[in-house]
Structure 1
Amino acid sequence: MIFDFLFPNRCLDCNQLIDKREIVCEICKDKIHFSHHRFSENNGLKEKASLLFPVENAFSLMLYEKESLAQKIIQQLKYNHREKIGKNIAEWTIEKLNFEDKKPDLIATVPLHPKKLKQRGYNQLHIFANELSKHFQIPISHSLLQRTKHSKAQAKKDQHERLKTKNAYQLTEKIRDKHLLLIDDVYTTGNTSSNIAWEIINNSDNVKVSLLVMAMDV
């Protein structure tokens, strides 16, 4: 109670006082560019990802534009120790996502290198993915993949550096006859998703890979 009084929760965009469970006010939420993707149909994310790897289905909640509210929200989640924002983004995703008859069998999250995980203190995808797993009743694994190379954050890399993450991920166990949903925060060049997807496809039997991200770069 005292903490809430001394440090009241404010909207990330307009700084207005809001409920402690929220991250933006209702007025500013309308400023977020939601993608309106349908998981079971072709969309902008699926078209982009299909150029790099065989993607079954794809969904992006938001459009990630420079200096947009979506960018601000995700940067707060990743770099400002606000891990719980993942729950808010998951709630928005649940409102808009319908798997229909394409529901995956397993969820896996993009891993952080142990060094980066220690520095940050958390993987920004875990709360988000756990909420989706619980709501849609899909098993989840945070250990199916591991990162074997350490590098600086994607947002701080130039385009050339982003293309050098090949073979940076490793599958920890072989999977068979599964439709796997890979979850990441932002789809930019597609390099991370592509490397992981090929690692899964090349080291598993009869596995389909779908992709879900909080936002896609436009």
Structure 2
Amino acid sequence: MLPSALSDFVALIFPRTCLACQQSLARGETHLCTGCRTQLPYTDYHRLAPTDNPLARRFWGRVPMEYVLSYLRFLRRGRVQHLLHQLKYQGQREVGTALGQMYGQELATHGLGTDLDLILPVPLHRRKLAKRGYNQSDTFAEGLAAGLQVPWSAEVLRRNSFTASQTRKSRAERWQNVAEVFEVAQPDAVRGKHILVVDDVLTTGATLEACAIKVLDAGAAAVSVATIACAEH
């Protein structure tokens, strides 16, 4: 049996489905169907000036950011929530890499990323990493790196303490929860460079702020942040 015929046969028995809406994918579609690709709630914040970016305002007076970016708006019971659930709890790592690559290509098209030197995912503690088997932020970083043509590393930032879930915590409580749990394990990797720190979801920004401060304290020339999705205030 020819490989293409075998592929069609497997698709017939085990149809590939869109990770967002669970409908069958057509030939040529990967991970997301065309309908979801066009209907996902994109933020388009990369098209705005920093002073007009509502996400950037969350960090004003706290830590200087070059870019504050997020690909999608998080809407409860919507496609984005389903995608993130697939990524974090159903072992669908390709959600992160696919969205990262799509977003990276979008950013590159608009001239963003040409001054970035290194992408760093927010690390998981080793206990949570062992339980989940992978870091969802690593997958997003990997996809972004491919789309932007910028290197990434999961070894530079380290999480030293296991923290309780951030869910249901206020901004102050979230900051207290993560303020001293991160460290830059390889300062030479960030010194004098523009670093992009990435995570899956931006809510209050406390985790990204804590990482950004550590990166700047280690000698980075500039820091930016990007996430798959952002929760609206």
TM-score, normalised to structure 1, is: 0.86
Match of 1:192 in 2: 207
SS at match of 2:83: helix
**Change in 2 beyond 3 A, CA 1:197/1:117:** same
> For residue 28 of structure 1, what is the amino acid of its counterpart?
C
1:206 positional shift = 5.0
Q: CA deviation at 1:37?
A: 1.7
1:167 counterpart (152, 177, 180): 180
RMSD over aligned Cα, in angstroms? Answer: 2.4
1:62 aligns with 2:72: yes
Match of 1:25 among 28, 33, 45: 33
Q: Paired residue for 1:209, among 210, 215, 223?
A: 223
Q: Which amino acid aligns with 1:190?
A: G
Tell whether the 8 Å contact from 2:105 to 2:148 is kept in structure 1 after alignment.
Answer: no
| Cα pair 1:108 1:182 within 8 Å, conserved | yes
SS at match of 1:50: coil
Name the structure 1 match of 2:58: 48
**CA–CA distance in structure 2, aligned partners of residues 13 and 141 of structure 1:** 28
**CA deviation after TM superposition for structure 1 residue 14, in Å:** 4.0
User: Does 2:164 correspond to 1:148?
Assistant: no
Q: 1:147 to 1:19 in 2, by over 3 A?
A: farther
Aligned-residue offset at 1:146 = 0.7
Deviation readout 1:181-200 (Å, 9 max, x if unpaired): 11111100111011111112
Mean alpha-carbon deviation: is it higher for 80-89 or for 28-37? Answer: 28-37
Deviations for 1:91-135, whole angstroms, at most 9, x for unmatched residues? 320342134475211111110101111111111122332232234
**Structure 2 unaligned spans of 5+:** 1-6
Equivalent-residue separation in structure 2 for 1:115 and 1:104 (angstroms): 31
For residues 193 and 225 of structure 2, what CA distance do their matches in structure 1 show? 14
**Equivalent residues of 2:145, 2:152 under 8 A apart:** yes
Deviation at 1:173, TM superposition (A): 2.2
Mapping for residues 100-115 of structure 1, pairs under 5 Å? 100=112, 103-115=115-127
- Which residue pairs with 1:8 in the alignment? 15
Number of residues paired by the alignment? 215
Partner residue of 1:121 out of 110, 133, 153: 133
Greater Rg by CA = 2
TM-score by length of 2: 0.81
**Identity in percent:** 28
Q: Distance in 2 between matches of 1:134 and 1:29?
A: 19
